[in-house]
Amino acid sequence: MTMTFTKSPSHMVTSESVTEGHPDKLCDQVSDAVLDAILARDPYARVACEVATTTGLVIVMGEITCNCYIEIPDVVRGVIKDIGYTRPEYGFDYEGCGVVVSIKEQSKDIAMGVDQSIETREKATDNDVNDSLDKLGAGDQGFMFGFACNETPQLMPLPILLANRLCRRLAEVRKSNMLPYLRPDGKSQITVEYRHGVPRRVDNVIIAAQHDPVVSHNVIQRDIIEHVIKATIPPSLLDKKTRYYVNSTGRFVVGGPVGDAGLTGRKVSVDTYGGVSRHGGGALSGKDPTKVDRSASYAARHIAKNVVAAGLADRFEVQICYSIGKAHPLAISIEAFGTAKVDEELISKLIKEHFDLRPEAIIRRFDLRRPIYRAVAAYGHFGRDDLDLPWEKTDKVAVLQAEAGLAGSRNSLQEQPSK
């Protein structure tokens, strides 16, 4: 269930994130690095790349149909090296690990529906622009969610925004040698107290940071609180009651694929909205944009962010439902959590008029047939002010405001500049 923010005067919301060296996130990054390498050579390739890892081993598997060749083991080792698994004493490193590749072509049964949608087969023509956008069918069935809220400038829930930033900071202090004893694996968790729907303070912060065995727990705790937590979370959100938990077992030396097996697609809440919004269940990484798990999730975020940025609602969630082989979505549902500023039927009407949700239309609008995916495979696909992501643009604000009668409204949020 999604969370409502109107009844309780005070409540807690918790989100977590993981670093790029977490075994699941390592797998996500390898999946998307393989995808990027293929799209750089064949933009129309069909890719469904899954990765698993454990001690000393990475397995790359899935279905790929393309007109190019890439040396997948080299891609895998490059990602592992970039993440920071460079030393044998970690128990897992880019030179010493084994790489197993098991790839086959995409099922022709699936390709048949994607290459020629139900609409195209029914019309038996592709002479006009609309039919060209109709031609590509959805690569799978499923339902996707997009969410936005006005509690942060990025229009993201504060807990997941802070959790992702904490993990990015862990990587920064490790790679810059500010805290040279850190190793690549790590996690964060943060609980924010809301009062009457507004985030007011951080109640507790949890950090798990993999480290060299010679460093004492007291040193790690001191450094993480000072150089990670307090360097990331605004001071106004921290108070004397905020609790900090750093490496709560007292030791975190064994980590990465040695400590836990990893799989692509096991961190969907980290990738999206931190559990504040619902999720359809489909993973994002390793999939080319004909897979609506990916492309429609981006389109749904684009809708939700523009609706909130335009001032039509303070919190907004949209659900889009697809059938494999069909271009047009079967259903579009919205939820404004009691915060809508205009009639919700009008919002639904505006979405249908101004957001084309056919897969080919989404792909063209966001230029998704290009190698942009590894960058979002860690630290979240949404609300990224460090990346210029097309689905984060608030380019529909003016038209939504004008047609909703809110043009010039002070309640609207202006587009954030790209960084």
Q: Has 196 been annotated as catalytic?
A: no
Q: For residue 292, give both structure tokens.
A: 């609506």
Q: Which residues contact 176 (CB under 8 A, 6 or more apart)?
A: none
Distance of CA 92 to the CA centre of its chain: 26
Please identify which of the residues 287, 294, 365, 396 carries the catalytic annotation. 287
Q: Give the DSSP letter of residue 380.
A: -
Q: Has 252 been annotated as catalytic?
A: yes
Q: Has 251 been annotated as catalytic?
A: no
Please identify which of the residues 32, 50, 151, 271 carries the catalytic annotation. 50
Please identify which of the residues 266, 278, 328, 393 carries the catalytic annotation. 266
| Residue 416, Cβ density class (10 Å: 0-12 exposed, 13-18 middle, ≥19 buried) | middle
- Residue 201 CB neighbour total at 10 angstroms: 15
Q: Has 367 been annotated as catalytic?
A: no
Distances (CA, A) of 79 to 51, 144, 190: 12, 28, 28
Q: Has 305 been annotated as catalytic?
A: no
Q: Has 25 been annotated as catalytic?
A: yes
Q: Has 121 been annotated as catalytic?
A: no
Instruction: Select from 47, 94, 90, 52 the least CA-distant residue to 75.
Output: 94
Distance of CA 110 to the CA centre of its chain: 25
Please identify which of the residues 46, 135, 183, 187 carries the catalytic annotation. 187
Q: Has 288 been annotated as catalytic?
A: no
- Residue 216 CB neighbour total at 10 angstroms: 10
Rounded-to-integer distance, Cα 411 and Cα 313, Å: 9
Q: Has 50 been annotated as catalytic?
A: yes
Tokens 């380019």 correspond to what residue? 395
Please identify which of the residues 231, 261, 398, 407 carries the catalytic annotation. 261
Helix axes of 292-309 and 359-366: crossing angle, nearest 10 degrees: 70
Q: Has 291 been annotated as catalytic?
A: yes
Please identify which of the residues 252, 316, 355, 366 carries the catalytic annotation. 252
Q: For residue 245, give both structure tokens.
A: 């938990």
Check if the beta carbon of residue 91 is closer than 8 Å to that of residue 55.
yes
| Helix H or strand E segment including 101 | strand 98-104
Q: Has 63 been annotated as catalytic?
A: yes
Rounded-to-integer distance, Cα 370 and Cα 42, Å: 9
Q: Which residues contact 349 (CB under 8 A, 6 or more apart)?
A: none
Check if the beta carbon of residue 159 is closer than 8 Å to that of residue 190.
yes
Check if the beta carbon of residue 388 is closer than 8 Å to that of residue 357.
no
Please identify which of the residues 174, 291, 301, 365 carries the catalytic annotation. 291
Check if the beta carbon of residue 218 is closer than 8 Å to that of residue 170.
no
Q: Has 230 been annotated as catalytic?
A: no
Please identify which of the residues 5, 16, 20, 24 carries the catalytic annotation. 24
Please identify which of the residues 20, 22, 193, 316 carries the catalytic annotation. 22
Please identify which of the residues 119, 193, 293, 317 carries the catalytic annotation. 293
Rounded-to-integer distance, Cα 418 and Cα 384, Å: 10
Q: Has 393 been annotated as catalytic?
A: no
Q: Has 293 been annotated as catalytic?
A: yes
User: Could you give the residue numbers annotated as active site?
Assistant: 22, 24-25, 50, 63, 187, 252, 260-261, 266-267, 287, 291, 293
